[in-house]
């Protein structure tokens, strides 16, 4: 199911969608699945499963730490696809967020095929821009998968137009010039970036499919979620979930903390709308 369906449902409820991120294999193979399911039960509308990678160029220390533990724990790409399958079975659109090399190595079309058959909704690709995405554009068309590219504060209007043209599912607006990680305040450039992205979407003409804009990087509490929900179609949260798992005395307590935090954020996106 395309992610846009979940966004449309949230919109019909008069609120922003809540998107939660966790890497596969962290805190353990089963723990990641249980935590993601807890996030869904507590109100996440979309789940991003991170594919652990040895060289996470864009990630801050929290995600790096989690991903390192997942890799040390032996997680493989096949485990990531199985995790997607288990999480997608909840009925919530489940995407894979991945650096490009593991997909390139797997084979772009083979990865798309296996992701689709696992019930995955598509890919978020932080180090793949439309210019280099030819094989992925073809594979995602062939297997009817979402392709979520990022727009950044530094993107020109021309680049934003080029990016939204190839996105499917939603557009990921990275609100901070920086790596992933919870921040105490939402960057003030974020509303303007969402606005510029919507302007680019509007310029596509009346027949172009609706494409929501999710905002990610930096949200760490319900109040911030409410603030972002006031101007974006979706609120994306990652590091703050991982922080709860890292800080918990054991996996069970961690998953409880994740559930409680997801509920706080879910309440936030309803308050903010």
Partner 1 sequence: MTIDAARGAASDSANLPDPTGHFGRFGGRFAPEALMAALDELTREFEAAKADPAFTGELDELLTNYAGRPSLLTEARRFAEHAGGARILLKREDLNHTGSHKINNVLGQALLTRRMGKRRVIAETGAGQHGVATATAAALLGLDCTVYMGEVDTRRQALNVARMRMLGAEVVPVKNGSRTLKDACNEAFRDWVATVEDTHYCIGSVMGPHPFPMMVRDFQRVIGVEARRQVLELTGRLPDAVVACVGGGSNAIGIFHAFVPDEGVRLYGFEAGGDGVDTGRHAATLAGGSLGVIHGMRTFLLQDDDGQTLETHSVSAGLDYPGVGPEHSWLHDTGRAVYRAITDAEAMDAFGLLCRTEGIIPAIESAHALAGALKVGRELGEDAVIVVCLSGRGDKDMHTAAEWFGFITGEEGGR
Candidates 60, 73, 135, 189; binder of partner 1 (CB under 8 A) is 60
Judged by beta carbon, residue 191 or residue 230, the one nearer partner 1 is 191
Q: How far apart are CA 130 and CA 139, in angstroms?
A: 14
Tell me which of 34, 45, 59, 79 is the catalytic residue: 59
Candidates 26, 149, 241, 261; binder of partner 1 (CB under 8 A) is 149
Give the binding range for partner 1 (CB under 8 A) out of 18-26, 50-58, 208-216, 223-231.
Answer: 50-58
Q: How far apart are CA 135 and CA 121, in angstroms?
A: 18
101 three-state secondary structure:
helix
Stretch 96-115: interaction string toward partner 1, x if CB under 8 A:
---xxxxxxxx---------
236 three-state secondary structure:
strand
Q: How far apart are CA 92 and CA 19, in angstroms?
A: 10
**CB 29 to partner 1: min, Å:** 15
150 is a site residue for partner 1 (CB under 8 A)? yes
Stretch 160-189: interaction string toward partner 1, x if CB under 8 A:
---x----------x-xxxx----------
β-pairing verdict for 150-152 and 146-148: unpaired
Active site residue 59: yes
6 three-state secondary structure:
helix
76 is a site residue for partner 1 (CB under 8 A)? yes
Q: Are 24 and 75 in contact (CB under 8 A)?
A: yes
46: its two tokens = 């979309």
Q: Are 107 and 82 in contact (CB under 8 A)?
A: no
**CB 96 to partner 1: min, Å:** 13
Q: Which of 98, 239, 138, 120 is nearest to 182 (CA)?
A: 239
Question: Concatenated DSSP letters for 33-61?
Answer: HHHHHHHHHTT-SEEEEE---S--TT--H
CA distances, 79 to each of 116, 129, 251, 263 (Å): 15, 26, 19, 27
H or E segment at 17? strand 17-23
Residues 128-147 that bind partner 1 (CB under 8 A): 128-129, 131-132
207 is a site residue for partner 1 (CB under 8 A)? no
Residues 6+ apart with CB under 8 A from 176: 153, 183, 187, 190, 217, 218
Tell me which of 48, 79, 114, 233 is the catalytic residue: 48
Judged by beta carbon, residue 200 or residue 255, the one nearer partner 1 is 200
167: its two tokens = 């996105």
Candidates 28, 64, 221, 256; binder of partner 1 (CB under 8 A) is 64
Active site residue 109: no
Judged by beta carbon, residue 61 or residue 209, the one nearer partner 1 is 61
Q: Which of 180, 187, 186 is nearest to 239 (CA)?
A: 180
Q: How many residues bind partner 1 (CB under 8 A)?
A: 42
Candidates 8, 28, 116, 127; binder of partner 1 (CB under 8 A) is 127
77 is a site residue for partner 1 (CB under 8 A)? yes
Judged by beta carbon, residue 105 or residue 252, the one nearer partner 1 is 105
Residues that bind partner 1 (CB under 8 A): 53-60, 64, 68, 71, 76-77, 99-106, 126-129, 131-132, 149-156, 159, 163, 174, 176-179
Where in the sequence numbering do the catalytic residues fall?
48, 59
């Amino acid at each position: 199911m395309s992610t846009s369906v979940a966004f449309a449902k949230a919109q019909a409820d008069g609120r922003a969608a809540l998107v939660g991120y966790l890497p596969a294999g962290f805190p353990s193979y089963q723990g990641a699945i249980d935590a993601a399911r807890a996030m869904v039960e507590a109100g996440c509308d979309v789940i991003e499963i991170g594919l652990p990678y040895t060289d996470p160029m864009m990630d801050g220390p929290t995600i790096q730490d989690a991903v390192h533990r997942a890799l040390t724990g032996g997680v493989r790409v096949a485990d990531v696809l199985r995790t997607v399958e288990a999480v997608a079975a909840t009925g919530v659109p489940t995407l894979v967020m991945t650096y490009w090399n593991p997909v390139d190595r797997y084979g772009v079309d083979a990865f798309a095929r296996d992701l689709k058959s696992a019930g995955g909704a598509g890919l978020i690709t932080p180090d793949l821009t439309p210019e280099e995405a030819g094989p992925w554009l073809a594979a995602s068309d062939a297997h009817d998968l979402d392709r979520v590219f990022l727009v950044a504060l530094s993107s020109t209007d021309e680049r934003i137009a080029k990016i939204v043209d190839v996105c499917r599912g939603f557009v990921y607006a990275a609100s901070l010039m920086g790596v992933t990680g919870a921040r105490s305040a939402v960057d003030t450039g974020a509303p303007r970036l969402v606005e510029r992205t919507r302007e680019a979407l509007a310029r596509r003409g009346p027949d172009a499919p609706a494409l929501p804009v999710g905002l990610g990087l930096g949200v760490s509490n319900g109040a911030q979620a409410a603030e972002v929900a006031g101007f974006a179609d979706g609120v994306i949260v990652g590091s703050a979930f991982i922080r709860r798992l890292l800080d918990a005395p054991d996996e069970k307590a961690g998953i409880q903390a994740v559930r409680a935090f997801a509920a706080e954020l879910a309440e936030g996106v309803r308050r903010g709308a």
